[in-house]
Amino acid sequence: MRLRLFNTLTRSLEPFEPLEHGRAGVYACGPTIYDHAHVGNFRSFVFYDLVHRYLEWKGYDVRFVMNLTDVDDKTIRAAVAEGKTISEYTEPFAQAILEEADALGIRRADRYPRATAYVDEMIALVERLLEKGHAYRTDDGSVFFDITSFPEYGKLSRKNLDEARRGERVSEDEYGKDDVRDFALWKASKPEDREAGAAWPAPWGEGRPGWHLECSAMSLAEVGETLDIHLGGEDLVFPHHEDEIAQSEGATGKPFVRYWLHVRHLRFADEKMSKSRGNTVTVQDLLEQGVDPAALRHQLLSAHYRSELAFGREGLEGSGRAVQRLIDFRDRVEEVHTDPSAAISGIGGKAEEALERFEGALADDLNVPGGLGALFSFVSEGNGILDRKGDRVPPEEAERVLEVLGSMDEVLGLLEVAGQSRTVDAETRHWIEDRIGEREEARRSKDFSRADAIRDELAERGIVLEDSSRGTRWKHVGTRPLVG
């Protein structure tokens, strides 16, 4: 099934045709590492991971790069306030983001370029723009991009440039979305820049790069002059991505990006989650409250990337139940009685149909809700078949079901994350089984209050018991009640 993507540039669904057959170059706008990334940021990061996983699942050789912005107004201001250099200040946040990404099963990118390591490339890019007449210097040693020199400026955001006049400039990284003025490529250094170690020599004067320039230089260096896919949040369409196009295409004369994909905001308590609103929740906050990483990943995947995602406690709890249903079904199939003489149950065929529906949904602009629907409809159908067949199926059918579940999870990562977060070491496993043995002895002695107490003790540690005619099974659900 051929992948179609909604390209922000054309406002239409387009068949995905990379620049080079079988290869995909992807650049994702990552976080500014002046603070911990919040769950709203991770909505984008989990979507980036979905793109990465899906393209690899479809057999593409993927070059995947996500930047970490370590020099801008925010990082400099915060570093100076704490008496640190920007590298000292930003390093702990960079490491925290990668650790939290690992906890959510986000595959590592091929590169995580940091702006401070690409200053030479940024200076070279500014020199090219000056040579081609797209930029000009100012008396203080700054350099600005002249948007009137690039006739296609505004083609991504479709901004009206009637009010733009040469010489009207924006020097700060933090400015309103409606500003349509020349933007800073290079900013003359200030005392606080030097104090934070954020000033570099350049032919036009000591200073530091502008935020927009950073992403262009890093993506051109790490992916190439034309990217197949550029990912980012919807708030980056203008001015950030619009400015990236102008300076990149102005320098190379080539199309900068073939497909632009933008993620809608996550809403928390009916507001956009953002640091400026003071309503942020971090991944670490949630993990420390006992939220299952697989449930959090499911919640962040549950809405289409071009739709807003309403995030909250109720949704997380529902996601936790969904993940547990998936784990229970996978475990049930692993434990069925595989009988070569058993009649064909039909579960293998249902698995094939589910995989086809799943692939069709993902090919339609990465429609994860549709893919999840295909998966969980199959879980329900499969459980019904196993109920009717008394958990007896031919071995090839059980094997195919597990293959299909594994294939879908290559894209979704839910079972993978659940497996990582719910792994029980040998010592803990031995303790659990001892407690179950004590509970069985208490039940045989009709000491039901003792048996219930042991069950409750295990439940507090995320261990759920299931009694059946074949004995007591246990499973680690990996969650604790949320705080509050």
pLDDT at 425 over 80: no
Question: CA-to-CA distance for 187 and 198, rounded, in angstroms?
Answer: 11
Token pair 């089984």 is found at 433
Q: Can you give the pLDDT at residue 470?
A: 54
**Confidence class of residue 460 from pLDDT cuts 50, 70 and 90?**
confident
Q: Is the model more confident about 270 or about 49?
A: 49
| CA 112/CA 324 separation, integer angstroms | 33
Q: What is the pLDDT of residues 152-197, one digit of tens each?
A: 999 999 987 776 665 678 877 766 666 788 999 999 999 999 999 9
Between 203 and 469, residue with greater pLDDT: 203
Share above pLDDT 70 across residues of the chain, in percent, rounded to a whole number? 91
Per-residue pLDDT tens for 80-132? 999 999 999 999 999 999 999 999 999 999 999 999 999 999 999 999 999 99
**Which residue type does 354 have?**
A
Domains, the chain, ranges and CATH?
19-272 (3.40.50.620), 307-421 (1.20.120.640), 426-476 (no CATH)
Q: Band of the pLDDT at 482, cuts 50, 70, 90?
A: very low
Write down the pLDDT at residue 426: 63
Question: Dihedrals φ, ψ of 9, to 5°?
Answer: -65, -40
Kindly report the backbone phi and psi dihedral angles of residue 4, in degrees, each rounded to the nearest multiple of 5, phi listed first: -120, 135
**Residues 6+ positions from 316 with CB-CB distance below 8 Å:** 286, 291, 295, 296, 299, 482
Supply the pLDDT for residue 480.
44
467 Cβ contact list (under 8 Å, min separation 6): none
Q: Counting Cβ atoms within 10 Å, is residue 196 exposed (0-12), middle (13-18) or buried (19+)?
A: buried
pLDDT at 341: 82
Question: Between β-strands 182-188 and 392-393, what pairing exists: parallel, antiparallel or unpaired?
Answer: unpaired
How sure is the predictor about 73, in pLDDT bands with cuts at 50, 70 and 90? very high
Per-residue pLDDT at 455 exceeds 70: yes
| pLDDT value at residue 483 | 29
Dihedral, CA of residue 457, residue 102, residue 403 and residue 64, to nearest 10: 170
Q: Which of 336, 290, 291 is nearest to 311 (CA)?
A: 291
Cα–Cα distance measured from residue 404 to residue 422, given in angstroms and rounded to the nearest whole number = 22
Angle between helices 39-57 and 395-412 (to 10 degrees): 130
Farthest-apart Cα atoms in the chain, separation: 91
Of 185, 207, 188, the closest CA to residue 198 belongs to 207
Digit-coded pLDDT (tens) for 289-312: 889 999 999 999 999 999 999 999
d(CA 168, CA 184): 11
pLDDT reading at 457 higher than 90:
no
For residue 484, what pLDDT is reported? 28
CA distances from 413 to 29, 108, 425 (A): 22, 13, 22
The rounded distance, in Å, linking the Cα atoms of 64 and 354 is 29
**First vs last Cα of the chain: how many Å apart?**
46
Q: What is the rounded CA–CA span in Å between residue 146 and residue 166?
A: 7
Q: What is the pLDDT of residue 180?
A: 81
Handedness of CA 434, 435, 437, 438 (dihedral sign): positive
* Cβ pair 318, 338 in contact under 8 A: no
pLDDT category, 444, cuts 50, 70, 90? confident
- Mean pLDDT, residues 437-464 taken together: 86
Rounded mean pLDDT of 324-336? 95
- Average pLDDT, integer, range 431-442: 85
Asked if 433 and 440 touch (Cβ cutoff 8 Å), the reply is no
Nearest alpha-carbon partner for 411 in 27, 66, 55, 42: 55
Distance from CA of residue 309 to its chain's centroid? 14
State the pTM of this model: 0.87
Q: What angle do CA 316, 466, 342 make, to 5 degrees?
A: 105
Give the DSSP letter string of 147-214: GGG-TTTTTTT----TT--TT-EE--SS--TT--SEEEEEEE--HHHHHTT--B--TT-SEEE-HHHH
Alpha helices in 413-447 (DSSP H): 414-421, 426-444
Looking at residue 479, its pLDDT comes to 47
Model pLDDT, residue 213? 97
